[in-house]
Amino acid sequence: MNNKEKGDFGEVIARKYLEDKGIHIIALNYRIKTGEIDIISSLDDEIIFVEVKSRNNVRYGYPAEAVNYKKIKKILNTANYYISQNNLHDKKVRFDVIEVYLNEKKINHVENAF
């Protein structure tokens, strides 16, 4: 499985995980010119922007470590655009990271990651 396939598979697993927790999926792979958000979801009155990182193992670091300052800045800019375009200024917002460990078939959900 190449990196793109791993990422896509991890996003499917993360989406199912969120849905099983009762979280409503609004959009998948929301893209604008300056960035992308893997999953946009909601729970009650809160909008949740989710970055999914998938790895076979931790040999090269934990998945969440790949969400660096540059990636966070892109996610924040993309989220601000989404909020503005959809007039969601009155909603609570949070940014999560979901780590998917493919070999272990394990998920680590980091709420309010940044």
Indicate which CATH number applies to the domain containing 98: 3.40.1350.10
pLDDT of residue 58: 84
Q: Count the domains in the chain.
A: 1
The pLDDT of residue 71: 96
**Rounded distance between C-alpha atoms, residue 41 and residue 52, angstroms:** 13
Assess whether pLDDT exceeds 80 at residue 1: no
| pLDDT of the residue at 76 | 98
Residue with tokens 């598979």: 9
Q: Are 81 and 67 in contact (CB under 8 A)?
A: no
Mean pLDDT of 4-18: 94
pLDDT in tens, 20-58: 999 999 999 999 998 999 999 999 999 999 999 999 988
DSSP label at residue 58: S
pLDDT at 29: 97
Q: 61-108 pLDDT, tens per residue?
A: 889 999 999 999 999 999 999 999 999 999 999 999 999 999 989 999
- CA-to-CA distance for 35 and 59, rounded, in angstroms? 27
Domain that holds residue 26: 3-110
pLDDT score at 2? 81
Distance CA 40, CA 25 (A): 6
Question: What is the amino acid identity at position 113?
Answer: A
Name 105's bridge partners. Answer: none
Query: 97: which 2 tokens?
Result: 């990271």
